[in-house]
Amino acid sequence: MKEMLTPLQIMENMVNKLQQSYPKHDKKAEGVIQFYLKHENENINCFIQSDFEKLSFYKGVAQNPTVTVKSTFYNWLNLAGGTLNPVFGVMTGKLKFKGKTSFFEVLPKKSFTEDLNIPKDPVSRFEKKPSKYWVKPKKIVVLSASPRGENGYTDFYLNPFIEGMKKQSDVELIHLKKISIKPCTGCFSCWMVHPGECIYHKTDDFNILAEKMYAADLIVYAFPIYADGMPGILKNYFDRSVSRAYPYMIDGIYKVRHPRRYKHENQSMVIFSICGFFEMKNFDPVRSYFKALAHNRHTPVVAEIYRTTAVGMYGNPFVYKQLNEIIGALSKAGEEIIEYGKIKRKTNKIICQEFSRSKRDLNQINEWWNEKKGSKDINY
């Protein structure tokens, strides 16, 4: 279990970090900086000893220090971090120095001006306004992530959309449930040990799938809502995709993100989701998730297709007409997305129409669950 570091451990870490720059430091000298720091009614006495080779950290009190610092632990950290001005610190009594204060120059100051060689991956104009810079996608990959695969309602609603897209482009449909992807273990080996490669690189199929997705100009993520989010198999895929980014942090459109290891300019995504409940609100969590994901992947979302009451509509004589309209609109949406890089508002309004539901509807549904209980008929 991770435990909170003590002030002494923090001091030691700080000295170890400074030591990295010390060999090249031009103000190397022999001497001792003694600290008398107070923290939560405890005295933290420690010192840094320097010679012409290294900085060493010790607990306790040194004989004849070159300079001493008396303050609270936090005030010292603020001074070290540059948020407390030393003159102001002395004037306000927050810091007390004794001895040769110029000796602090023995501690190297970290400068971040050096070129860290971070891969460049700036915000592109396509990412900001995909429909303005739209080029008809040649290759489309649809990742259907229902754990029920072809037998699910996800595919039922997805198929007309695919048919619409197929009129103009190549579409490959992949069922995620058929692909073996182990969950991320959080080891960061893909960033630190074998950059770009997960520990499961050779033992599962993540990379095969990731390469296919990378080659696509447009990716459709299709999935049912599970427990107010996406099914675990899809989340596993996204977690593992972290291996395809660099660990570095760069500025994005509205927040910090990672540069990509593999860039596919003008790649975009469509979110296609269905759920069992009635209200569009049920998609709010995945809507927010994909907004963040799209930003982190530098891949804009060009359309969101959400269908509530997906199970309840199927085979329901009282909404047969609406279902037919929805299926037609889904096919139209498939054509529109390829042509314009967006789905027309009118088309999406038909697809996403909500049904007002009465108490009687809920009673009917609950009756159905009661009837099916124990029937072992899972092919609903």
Q: Footprint of ligand FMN on this chain (CB under 6 A)?
A: 146, 148, 152-154, 224-228, 274-277, 282, 310-311
CB of 175 to ligand FMN, least distance (A): 11
8's tokens? 């002494």
At 31, which helix (H) or strand (E)?
strand 31-39
Residue type, 135: V
In angstroms and rounded to an integer, the radius of gyration of the C-alpha atoms of the chain is 30
CB of 1 or CB of 227, closer to ligand FMN: 227
* 8 A C-beta contact, residue 35 and residue 44: yes
Distance between CA atoms of 79 and 67, rounded to whole angstroms?
Answer: 15
Write phi, then psi, for 199 (nearest 5 degrees): -60, -20
| Nearer of residues 71 and 146 to ligand FMN, judged by Cβ | 146
Nearer to ligand FMN, 170 or 228 (CB): 228
Minimum CB distance to ligand FMN smaller for 105 or for 228: 228
Looking at beta carbons, which residue is closest to ligand FMN? Answer: 152
Strand-strand pairing, 42-50 and 55-59 = antiparallel
CB 39 within 8 A of CB 67: no
Q: Are strands 67-72 and 55-59 parallel, antiparallel or unpaired?
A: unpaired
Minimum separation from the CB atom of position 364 to ligand FMN (A): 16
Give min distance, CB of 42 to ligand FMN, in A: 50
Nearest-approach distance from CB 153 to ligand FMN, in angstroms: 4
108 HSE (CA, 13 A, CB side): 21
CB of 285 to ligand FMN, least distance (A): 9
**Nearest distance, CB of residue 314 and ligand FMN, angstroms:** 8
DSSP state of 153: H
Toward ligand FMN, which CB reaches closer, 190 or 275? 275
- Our CB check for ligand FMN shows the closer of 219 and 225 to be 225
